[in-house]
Amino acid sequence: MPAGRTRTPHDWSGRVWSGRLAGRLLGGPGRVPGVDVARGIAVLGMFTAHVGVTSDDWSRLDGWLGLAHGRSSILFATVAGLSLALVTGRAHPLDGEALVRARLRVLVRAACLLAVGALLDALGTRVYLILGFYAVYFALAVPVLRWRVHRLVTAAAIVAVVGPPLAYWGPEALARAGLRLPRDGDGAVTHFLLSGHYPAVVWMAYLLVGLAIGRSAALTSARTRAGLVVGGAAGWWLASAASAVLLQPAGGVLAVRAAVTTTTSTSATGPLAWVAPWPPVAGLFLAGPHDDTLLEVIGSGGFAVMVIGLCLCVGRVGARVLAPLAAVGSMALTVYTVQIIAIWRWDLLDVRTNGPLAWMVLISLAAATAWRALLGRGPLERLVARLANAAAAGPRRTGDAP
């Protein structure tokens, strides 16, 4: 301050106001910026998967955008597990009454996700909505919130091995047995667990891995972050290489996909006979988006772990530079919901350029940044938190202070 100048109340109020804005934008104490950044990447990745023009040519930008298919929603599921760990004790899981209340909050959040998903489904877009499936993942995670890292990793491995054959042959077995696949609410359990676009018998592996990462006692250590990056990248590369090698005797990816299509009842005019050829075993060696195979779990799950590891490396400077991306991640439910409404309002699924995607990304980054800086938590996040906290608080006992 120049000599002779005194600090006025206006100077103080301006500094306090700017400090509050910066504090809100960085998420406040206890917030892990890297988790918000990873969640923001996942949300914008789903934008790309829904309305982006992509290709398989990695020499072009639209080829790199193609990475969003399947992987963005898997990253979101993995970060969801990590977030569950962070709000239920991190490396030291809650117990007693605190655990009971935490579980109740998780269940209320699951119910809210299901409700929002139902409203978005009523719009009739052709997007495969994921919120209802997330609700099921959260509910299924309630019994394991106190599990330690080794149990979570073991459970994830079991799901990754057992789940894909169930998701691959299970719906076909139901069809050939003369049982119909779900068409209404009574089939919700079958749809969410087995036959839907994000079957829990496979996708719970991602959430369990995220929980295990969040339960790590050394989550903030450089060694842990490096292990996540290197291990995730290795899983991604090895799964891709293994898929190429294992599919070669069967004629390659295209030949196997064609064989799967011709032996699946949903692709035929009606259920195939029980003795008709079944989807080939080679189909379990695919590793593409939404193949829901062990190799996709290892590959795309490894990609998610790698991204989380990189995002956890965000320091003080990175938290400021990537604040808009973290802002999107901090209000993922709101941004995802507005995205679906925009797709419905302007029919964005059949666009031929990435112009609409660019506008959606830029508007989302700007709006989320401004909202977080001025108001903090996103609108839907605020509502869900109030409902969850009110339910967990329970009825007030006689004699409690007002």
pLDDT at 219: 80
Region 106-122 average pLDDT:
97
- pLDDT tens digits, one per residue of 357-390: 999 999 999 999 999 999 999 999 999 999 999 9
**Can you say whether residue 394 is alpha, beta or left, with left for phi > 0 and alpha for psi between -120 and 50 degrees?**
left
Q: How confident is the model at residue 31 (pLDDT cuts 50, 70, 90)?
A: confident
CA–CA distance, 343 with 357 (Å, rounded to integer):
10
* Dihedral sign computed on CA atoms, order 260, 349, 379, 394: negative
> What DSSP line would sit under 199-264, residue for residue?
-HHHHHHHHHHHHHHHH-TTTTSHHHHHHHHHHHHHHHHHHHHHHHHHHGGGT-HHHHHHHHHHT-
pLDDT at 2: 53
pLDDT at 4: 53
Higher-scoring residue by pLDDT: 28, 244: 244
Whether 29 has a pLDDT exceeding 90, the answer reads: no
pLDDT at 401: 37
Q: Which two tokens stand for residue 25?
A: 């934008």
CA–CA distance, 229 with 158 (Å, rounded to integer):
23
Identity at 332, one-letter amino acid code:
A
pLDDT at 187: 87
- pLDDT tens digits, one per residue of 333-344: 999 999 999 999
Q: How confident is the model at residue 22 (pLDDT cuts 50, 70, 90)?
A: low
Q: How confident is the model at residue 234 (pLDDT cuts 50, 70, 90)?
A: very high
